[in-house]
Structure 1
Amino acid sequence: MAADDKIDAKSDQLKGKVKEGVGRATDDRDLEAEGHGDQAKGNLKQAGEKIKDVFKS
């Protein structure tokens, strides 16, 4: 996995965790849901890059 793509996926996951935490703390369900979405987006990016790596080998 390319370093930039790896960092991008991790940043989406981290951003999602922060949004989710802030949403819970402030009882903002929309922000919490957005955090879940960002985490899922990061997970999908990471999975896609792993699949690319498998086919490169």
Structure 2
Amino acid sequence: MKVIVDMNKCQDHGQCVFAAPDVFQLEEGRLVFVSHPDEALRDDVEEAADVCPLQAIRIEG
């Protein structure tokens, strides 16, 4: 699974951090993420994509 975040859309609201803290984090107010997380985290990543207010998160694979 590959996680893609459109950083031009992302405004660092952090909703993804609550949904998938093993994949998304805020560091110094900016989003950082694991681009190829373990497949076991798919449900959390899908939830993060769903709750993103700007729909900046995509999942491939």
TM-score band, normalised by shorter chain: 0.3 to 0.5
TM-score normalised by structure 1 residue count: 0.36
Structure with more contact order per residue of length (Cα contacts < 8 Å, sep ≥ 6): 2
Greater Rg, structure 1 or structure 2? 1
Structure (1/2) with the larger strand percentage: 2
TM-score normalised by structure 2 residue count: 0.34
